[in-house]
Amino acid sequence: MSTPSILLIGAGGYLGGPVTQELFANRSRFNRIAILTEESKKQKFAEHEAEGFELVLGAFDSPDSFKGFDIVICMLGNHAMKCQPAIIDAAMAAGVTEFYPSEFGSDIGRGDYLTNRYFRDKHITRQHLRNVAKKNPGFNYTFLITGGFIEFALLPLFGMDVDKHTFTFYGPPEKQEALTAVHDVAKYLVESVFLPKSPSQERIFRIPGGNYAWKDVVATLEKVQGVKYTCTYHPRQDAIDAQKACAEKGDVDGELAFALKSLMGDINAVSVPKPWDNDKFSFKPATLEEAVRKFFEDLKRGEDKLARDFPMPSQS
Ligand SMILES: NC(=O)c1ccc[n+]([C@@H]2O[C@H](COP(=O)([O-])OP(=O)(O)OC[C@H]3O[C@@H](n4cnc5c(N)ncnc54)[C@H](OP(=O)(O)O)[C@@H]3O)[C@@H](O)[C@H]2O)c1
């Protein structure tokens, strides 16, 4: 598979932007680069098509959509993540040999991450991949464990307001979070395609840009923006209570958001445990300050609007 053919799902989302850019920059290394979508969404990918991306118009659960591709990269958001088991079955039936599920976040295989409501569909997908791989020795999959995206840590949905210069958190200021700039997530993804396979069929790369305390994220914003932030640190239990209240009234998005906040505020929860695999890659990830500066430059050019307007945290 020296020049593999790669198929993207969810390419028009937040992560899809940097990933399609990075693939485009590396297009000579691929035989085909294609986006799977349906007829009704064709217009959404007109620019991609003009750039030379192939569009496959088909259903997620039909093997026909996957024929001729070696690798599938799935970048579906929260509400579509439950489709992944059917996608995996269709990809497998069509002869795909490498599958990247929509992970791109914390290491959910341990501790409270195993049971937190927020990651339910990611766990179902992991289990499905393991079952499929057991029955199909030629089928491999890769988890890209990046920690949170730095750009997402700057959003109101994580308690940060970069306009009002406030931060609200359900835990102590010293709590650390593994964070990576989204453009580096895309670089890790594309480079990982060309790294050796794992003999066990399951390949995991733990590749955060760094571990940062929330008080350091605030301090970096203060430095870059030249302003002082007002911070409110609630007891973590408040997020746990809010999660329960949302669940009781059927507010799924609220339930998910507070489930995530309560985990992020837990001083004992390590989102990406070491050892990390960054040394297997050819580049150094951006530091928190570099990524924050880029975030504001992109904002000025209107390029990170999508992240700021995001209604709901993805399963990070
Ligand atoms: N660690 C972090 O901080 C962090 C932050 C953000 C995202 N992530 C992870 O990155 C991955 C992608 O997230 P994202 O934020 O890029 O996702 P997103 O923008 O919410 O959605 C990605 C794509 O999913 C498809 N999609 C969404 N809802 C759908 C539905 N109801 N039916 C069919 N398709 C639907 C759309 O595909 P089309 O483009 O084809 O229309 C959409 O563009 C997820 O695994 C997420 O957890 C992690």
Residue 309's pLDDT is what? 47
Residue 79's pLDDT is what? 84
Q: What percent of the chain has pLDDT over 70?
A: 95
Average pLDDT, the chain: 93
How many Å lie between the centroid of ligand 1 and the Cα of residue 13?
5
How many Å lie between the centroid of ligand 1 and the Cα of residue 267?
28
Nearest-atom number in ligand 1 for the CA of 35 is 40
Residue in 47, 76, 104 to alter for ligand 1 test, most ligand atoms within 8 A of Cβ: 76
Q: Are 193 and 220 in contact (CB under 8 A)?
A: no
What is 5-148+181-209+272-286's CATH topology?
Rossmann fold (3.40.50)
Per-residue pLDDT averaged across 218-230, rounded? 98
How many Å lie between the centroid of ligand 1 and the Cα of residue 48?
17
Residue in 7, 14, 35, 82 to alter for ligand 1 test, most ligand atoms within 8 A of Cβ: 14
Per-residue pLDDT averaged across 133-148, rounded? 97
Residue 299's pLDDT is what? 85
Q: What is the pLDDT of residues 41-91, one digit of tens each?
A: 999 999 999 999 999 999 999 999 999 999 999 999 988 999 999 999 999
Structure tokens at 189: 């993804």
Q: What is the pLDDT of residues 260-292, one digit of tens each?
A: 999 999 999 999 999 999 999 999 999 999 999
Q: Are 92 and 61 in contact (CB under 8 A)?
A: no
Q: List the beta strands (DSSP E) in 10-139.
A: 32-37, 54-57, 71-74, 98-100
Residue 304's pLDDT is what? 54
Closest Cα partner for 159 from 242, 67, 60? 242
Nearest-atom number in ligand 1 for the CA of 103 is 45
How many Å lie between the centroid of ligand 1 and the Cα of residue 147?
16
Q: How far apart are CA 245 and CA 258, in angstroms?
A: 10
Q: How far apart are CA 15 and CA 19, in angstroms?
A: 6
Sign of CA dihedral 101, 107, 113, 115: positive
Contacts of residue 205, Cβ cutoff 8 Å, sequence gap at least 6: 142, 143, 144, 145, 188, 192, 195, 277, 280
Overall pTM surpassing 0.85 (yes/no): yes
Q: Taking each helix axis from N to C terminus, what angle separates 182-192 and 16-25, rounded to the nearest 10 degrees? A: 50
Residue 303's pLDDT is what? 62
Q: Are 190 and 23 in contact (CB under 8 A)?
A: yes
Instruction: Determine if ligand 1 sits within 6 Å of the CB of residue 84.
Output: no
Instruction: Decide which of 223 and 312 is more confident.
Output: 223
> How many degrees, rounded to 5, is the angle at CA 166 between CA 161 and CA 169?
90
Residue owning tokens 């195993």: 114
Q: What is the pLDDT of residues 293-312, one digit of tens each?
A: 999 998 888 765 545 444 44
Residue 113: how many CB atoms within 10 A of its CB? 19
Contacts of residue 91, Cβ cutoff 8 Å, sequence gap at least 6: 63, 66, 69, 72, 99
Residue 8's pLDDT is what? 98
